[in-house]
Structure 1
């Protein structure tokens, strides 16, 4: 199903925005119904997520609350490693469990990468078979909003082009590595080599772009969405040139209401 909504190309969500979380959560197990509809008594649905996934997770949460007024989605953010430690400590505790945010146990886990979910499945901290994709993160070609003449595709960065290109370090960062893969897939590595402005990370790419050190920059879609008042997306890398990073969430083993999830 094609993504819908503003800036869908920069931070692609897997299903239409109004039913994103409704489809995701109801597909994990079965539909549910609740008698209590008062917002004050709304049943909490707790998601433990990585800060890097804040935009898609909160979009999903708002969509789900819109279609399920008797549920309040609460999101707890922490790094992947901290999430792993928190979940392990909570599940391995002997006796009555003390939940880490004071609102009840975790329902769903949405880390910043599927590698962590695989590790959690191996430890049986999340239920096998409950993993569902909820966001696909593409590479975005961006320019300052003031730039009039801009390339319309990654291919236009190649032979004959004069655009200075800000990229993240391909040796030290995942963003840079994926950028390099796109250049190689398009066969433009030798054409862009003398025009690359290498930054330490995505923030550095934006700084170099906005301070005039480069004409275009390449960052992940969600980062482009955050800066849409200062930059605009002119192209996204797609198949077969580039395979977007898929992010999934899964049900925590002690999810208190599996029907809700």
Structure 2
């Protein structure tokens, strides 16, 4: 009887341990420029934890709007920079204690393959032959915000703002260059060129310059849990998974370099939607 009682106790402990593990399904909102790495992360996370991931891919601005204006409630929002996360933190949608920084990007200058304006450097943007430079709308997109900050810090913004055109959809801003509709564009180095190449309308582009380190705030690729998450334990487990060494190595291989803490971040009083 004594051995039977011990066996029952062991089974009870093991059962409670198993039941304590996060289970069920998580719904993620992920920018469409990160399809390749997150499809791999989905496979790895599900294999390791048994938790199912349902991922909605869309433009970052649209993901924010779907939460703010359409009432959609994923468990986690992934963002290509701080701007989108800060908008939802300010509006009270995201738990501030949950936010993790799991990657970064560098800014690059891209031109159409033909490069009729003859751009070879950042200073070449000042040439009269350069008429249109596209960036994502800096009020709505992290990549556009960082682009504007870089130009301002390099003393180029005031000189170039008459040439700047913006688009609310970051991916469309990329396609403006690929289609030759502008002379140059400013984007992230690997997103979407490496992390979602199928989203790039044409391979007809060239990278001609990288913005110097320190000319813009460190880009923080982030994720945060919504306060309304129906599976908080699983959401916290996924956020922890994002910064684990094996995941970080995989992300770096798939176009989202690891973030190294540096001074500086977005400090903004965002207004409006």
TM-score (norm 1): 0.53
Give 3-state SS (helix, strand or coil) of 1:198's partner.
Answer: strand
Does 2:125 correspond to 1:157?
yes
Which of 1 and 2 has greater Rg? 2
Q: Against the structure 1 CA distance between its residues 136 and 150, is the aligned structure 2 distance closer, same or farther, given a 3 Å change threshold?
A: farther
Q: Distance in 2 between matches of 1:107 and 1:47?
A: 5
Aligned mates of 2:64, 2:232 — CA distance in 1:
22
Aligned to 1:108: 76
The alignment status of 1:241 with 2:215, answered yes or no, reads yes
Kindly tell me: are residues 206 and 171 of structure 1, through their superposed partners in 2, closer, same or farther at Cα, counting changes over 3 Å? Answer: closer
Cα distance in structure 2, aligned partners of 1:144 and 1:77: 27
RMSD: 4.3
Mind listing any 5+ residue stretches in structure 1 that lack a counterpart? 1-32, 36-42, 88-105
Q: Does the Cα contact within 8 Å between 2:106 and 2:188 map onto a contact in 1?
A: yes
1:174-213 to 2 correspondence within 5 Å?
178-189=146-157, 192=160, 196=163, 198=165, 200=167, 202=170, 205=173, 209-210=177-178, 212=180
Describe how 1:117-128 pairs up with structure 2 within 5 A. Answer: 117-119=88-90, 122=92, 126=95, 128=96
Q: Name the count of aligned residue pairs.
A: 197
| Other structure's SS at 1:59 match | helix
Where 1:184 maps in the other structure, the secondary structure is helix
Which residue, out of 38, 41, 47, partners 2:27? 47
Q: Report the equivalent of 2:205.
A: 231
Partner of residue 141, structure 1: 109
Structure 2 unaligned segments of length 5 or more: list them: 1-16, 239-273
CA contact (8 A) 1:199 1:208 kept: no
| TM-score, scaled to structure 2 | 0.52
* Residues 77-136 of structure 1, C-alpha deviations (whole Å, 9 max, x = no match): 56323225233xxxxxxxxxxxxxxxxxx553325611244146x46x63x422112343
The alpha-carbon deviation at position 172 of structure 1 amounts to 7.2
